[in-house]
Structure 1
């Protein structure tokens, strides 16, 4: 029996995901995701595949939350299949699935990094009011870090990677080959 035959017999559901996503994580992907979920409302496990170079982390979190709600409220098993590239917001989406319900295809890569921000803060007005502008921007940054850390914790839950290891590696882009992701327990297996 070859490795492919073995995977086909062990994971037959992964051959035909009901929800297939590709491209940037944006509003269009989210609408496509919701539409495909509507068509896949039958029984049995729900298999979702994604290929993405990244995108909007908040939309990725929203899609992950939809998956969580399906699992918790409908009791439906949800399976994740990453194909080719699961970068940035794609990994955020992947964190919505338990580690033992995640797979990657051979040759796929994960890319994890800290959230990014590009912002210009213009200080204009009476000096006594400028403090509020600075405090508001600082609060935005601190909240974004809390959200990022929640996602990092969900991503490493059930794996051999600690939260602190991920934080250290994610300060610059951390590329992880499929087999390494499996060995680290970030995914169950490579198909």
Structure 2
């Protein structure tokens, strides 16, 4: 079954409307609205965010992915408005590309995950090595998770993995029409 593109009228009353920081409060709001939309054939999630916790974005995204796989007769659609930065872009990456839309003038921002951590090395040498290795493992795992998100985001686009890695290190901003032209979203409304 070929899915049709959507016109602006399809986004008139989104089932899920979120704005602000991607955090556990947003996740609670998301789950409440998501659960209330369980009888809807098409579920529109509208989002505007300057970013937040990437793990919360992944939790919301996994809910979308899981529901999409468990209920293929339903359609889960994303509408980004004004700003979709950082964790918001991570969340958008969980929607099938054909179900990603942006309002005119919206900006996406893609960047690498950030880490701010003090590493204190103090004690017997063997425990010092364990502390350094644990921090290195944390960084390597975070990079792997970040790169999975980048891969999700670029599926079906002309953006290469190498390009996103290069540009994400210095905060890559894309205007809605550019995101459409590059194939990251289906359309701009």
TM-score range relative to shorter protein: over 0.9
Q: Which residue matches 1:105?
A: 103
CA distance in 1, matches of 2:52, 2:7: 32
Q: Which residue matches 2:27?
A: 30
Equivalent runs, 1:1-191 vs 2, <5 Å = 10-75=7-72, 76-191=74-189
| RMSD value, Cα | 1.2
CA deviation profile, 1:21-78 (whole Å, cap 9, x unmatched): 0000001000000000111111311110100000000000000000011101122211
CA distance in 1, matches of 2:7, 2:88: 25
Q: Does the aligned pair in 2 maintain the 1:98–1:158 contact within 8 Å?
A: no
SS across alignment from 1:161: coil
Q: Where has structure 1 moved over 3 Å in runs of 4 or more? A: none
CA distance in 2, matches of 1:66, 1:31: 12
| TM-score (ref. length: structure 2) | 0.94
CA distance in 2, matches of 1:22, 1:62: 16
| TM-score (ref. length: structure 1) | 0.93
CA distance in 1, matches of 2:184, 2:107: 12
- Where structure 2 has 5 or more consecutive residues not aligned to the other structure, the ranges are none
